[in-house]
């Protein structure tokens, strides 16, 4: 069964960012998959992922149907061998097989709970869809991975880099509530796949999983990390060690003009949505070095490329 769940799955489709640039440059709207249906299953809100995935599908002639699980449909049970006498009337075993009868490919968004480290790390929701679906599954952001975002990010870096091997900084930034690790994890994995020169900077209490950051420098002083950087990728994540805890450092980690001036006139990146003047100041976001809108645009091309590859492989 073909699937796209983690950045590593790109290898199965012989996808690299250079091929994606060629695909984007030759992209056209066609009806090549006009009999295909893409089901979009959302456990969490979305603006970019929902619309860019629908746009990508439209560009290929694919029809989409979607459901917001926690609002429109039955709550799903993911545990095996339990008496279902609680608030979840439908098991994923039935639900995934039923959805597979209506769809040729299924996209799933299911964020981390940040309450149960074990089930989050097992990525239980998306992997249960993979296990019980009869059609390919793609990841629209799961507990630990957001591979379509990182593919669009890598494309954005390649398109905008003035250098062959730019210096990229993934910087932690503040937030009002604990956020999952999926975007940061996938960005790091993508940098590894692309052989990008990446350094991570975050408060000491906010190190990501060592399994993910292995091989990359992690610096706890943001100003030192920013020196001579070509790209600053900002993101908040909660503590991994003290799982799901909101970290509030004493000094400011908000990205502002003063910090950007330490860089090599770096571009600013963020997956969006971004909280202005918390993650990053208005001045940085309103500058010509802001690439966040380009990143969001590239989500369509990254997703279209993956859908095309998967459906071609299914023939």
Q: Least CB distance from residue 273 to ligand CP, whole Å?
A: 6
CA atoms within 13 A on the CB side of 103: 26
Q: Least CB distance from residue 82 to ligand CP, whole Å?
A: 31
- Of 14 and 72, the one with the shorter C-beta distance to ligand CP is 72
Q: Least CB distance from residue 272 to ligand CP, whole Å?
A: 5
- Of 36 and 235, the one with the shorter C-beta distance to ligand CP is 235
**Residue facing ligand CP at closest CB distance:** 49
- The CA distance from 19 to 257, in Å, is 35
- The CA distance from 24 to 199, in Å, is 28
Nearest to 232 by CA among 178, 270, 183: 270
- Of 98 and 272, the one with the shorter C-beta distance to ligand CP is 272
- Of 157 and 225, the one with the shorter C-beta distance to ligand CP is 157
- The CA distance from 28 to 313, in Å, is 20
Q: Are 14 and 41 in contact (CB under 8 A)?
A: no
Residues in the chain: 315
Q: Least CB distance from residue 139 to ligand CP, whole Å?
A: 11
**DSSP bridge pairs for 3:** 137
Identify the burial level of 81 via C-beta atoms within 10 angstroms of its C-beta, where 0-12 means exposed, 13-18 middle and 19 or more buried: exposed
- Of 77 and 141, the one with the shorter C-beta distance to ligand CP is 141
Residues engaged in binding ligand CP (CB under 6 A) = 46-49, 141, 149, 271-273
Q: Least CB distance from residue 53 to ligand CP, whole Å?
A: 9
Q: Least CB distance from residue 236 to ligand CP, whole Å?
A: 13
Sheet containing 267-269: order of strands: 217-219, 197-201, 167-172, 231-235, 267-269
- The CA distance from 16 to 155, in Å, is 9
- The CA distance from 261 to 304, in Å, is 36
Nearest to 31 by CA among 54, 56, 61: 61
- Of 225 and 296, the one with the shorter C-beta distance to ligand CP is 296
- Of 89 and 273, the one with the shorter C-beta distance to ligand CP is 273
Q: Least CB distance from residue 143 to ligand CP, whole Å?
A: 14
């Amino acid at each position: 069964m073909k699937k796209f769940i983690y950045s590593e799955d790109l290898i199965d489709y012989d996808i690299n960012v250079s091929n994606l640039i060629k695909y984007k440059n030759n992209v056209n709207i066609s009806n090549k998959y006009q009999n295909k249906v893409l089901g979009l299953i959302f456990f969490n809100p979305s603006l970019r992922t929902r619309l860019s995935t629908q746009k990508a599908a439209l560009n290929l002639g694919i029809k989409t149907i979607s459901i917001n699980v926690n609002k429109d449909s039955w709550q799903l049970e993911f545990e095996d061998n339990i008496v279902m006498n609680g608030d979840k009337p439908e098991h994923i075993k039935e639900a995934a097989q039923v959805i597979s009868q209506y769809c040729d490919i299924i996209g799933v968004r299911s964020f981390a709970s940040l309450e149960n480290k074990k089930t989050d790390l097992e990525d239980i929701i998306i992997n249960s869809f993979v296990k019980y679906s009869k059609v390919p599954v793609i990841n629209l952001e799961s507990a630990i991975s957001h591979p379509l975002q990182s593919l669009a990010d890598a494309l954005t870096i390649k398109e905008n880099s003035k250098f062959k091997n730019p210096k990229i900084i993934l910087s932690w930034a503040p937030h009002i509530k604990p956020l999952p690790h999926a975007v940061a994890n996938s960005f790091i994995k993508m940098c590894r796949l692309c052989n990008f020169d990446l350094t991570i900077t975050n408060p000491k209490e906010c190190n990501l999983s060592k399994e993910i950051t292995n091989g990359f420098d992690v610096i706890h002083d943001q100003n030192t990390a920013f020196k001579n950087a070509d790209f600053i990728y900002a993101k908040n994540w909660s503590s991994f060690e003290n799982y799901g805890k909101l970290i509030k450092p004493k000094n400011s980690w908000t990205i502002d003009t003063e910090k950007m001036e330490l860089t090599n006139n770096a571009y600013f990146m963020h997956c969006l949505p971004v909280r202005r003047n918390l993650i990053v100041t208005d001045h940085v976001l309103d500058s010509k070095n802001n690439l966040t809108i380009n990143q969001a645009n590239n989500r369509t091309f990254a997703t279209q490329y993956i859908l095309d590859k998967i459906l071609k492989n299914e023939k």
